[in-house]
Amino acid sequence: MQNFNSKLKIFFVFLISLFTIHYSLFTRETLAHCPLCVGGAAIGLSVARFFGIDDAITGVWLAAFIGAISFWLDSWLAKKVKIAPSILRPATYIIFFGLTIWSFYAFNDYMIAKLRFYLVNPHAGQILGVDKLTFGVISGGILFYLVDIADNALIKARGKVFFPFQRIIVSLGSILILSLALYILLNYFI
């Protein structure tokens, strides 16, 4: 059984590597939030608790991950349905975040092969009466959306981006600053 599990892991790593290489080399268009960035965020979130990163900071990065995926869905839906972008984008964003936060509590106590997983860690504490992970997701989600609005306004006002990779740098920079602020707040003031 152990040999089968190791072969299965190797197969999945190989499959994901092929998928990543294919889409890295043969892309036809550039997306606002690239698949490699989202994949990297997913992997980073998967190991965050293992390294002891606070749930509030993990929640901020999870919010960026959810936001990027909701923007992808919004771009796809905009081509398929005739709903005004001023309604579709916020609705998609709110639905994604609502379902994610709901799933934290609906599937909190999850067990796979005698390993128990808690999405919302009852021992992690709370910030303003809200679990740290939920607080991080909400604060990161609000920041990520507001930064995207501001970035779009800057690009629209100028007619082009100010510098290469502006969207990535602005989005990543804002999430990094919020993570640092939460780290300082949690370790020195709360």
Question: What is the spatial distance between Cα 60 and Cα 176, in angstroms, rounded to a whole number?
Answer: 9
- What is the tens place of the pLDDT at every residue in 35-65? 555 566 656 666 777 788 888 898 898 898 8
Question: What is the spatial distance between Cα 152 and Cα 154, in angstroms, rounded to a whole number?
Answer: 5
Domain boundaries, the chain: 48-189
Question: What is the spatial distance between Cα 58 and Cα 134, in angstroms, rounded to a whole number?
Answer: 10
Residue 116: per-residue pLDDT: 59
Retrieve residue 180's tokens: 């640092």
Query: What percent of the chain has pLDDT above 90?
Result: 15
Question: What is the spatial distance between Cα 172 and Cα 40, in angstroms, rounded to a whole number?
Answer: 12
The number of C-alpha atoms within 13 Å of 104 and in the hemisphere containing its C-beta is 21
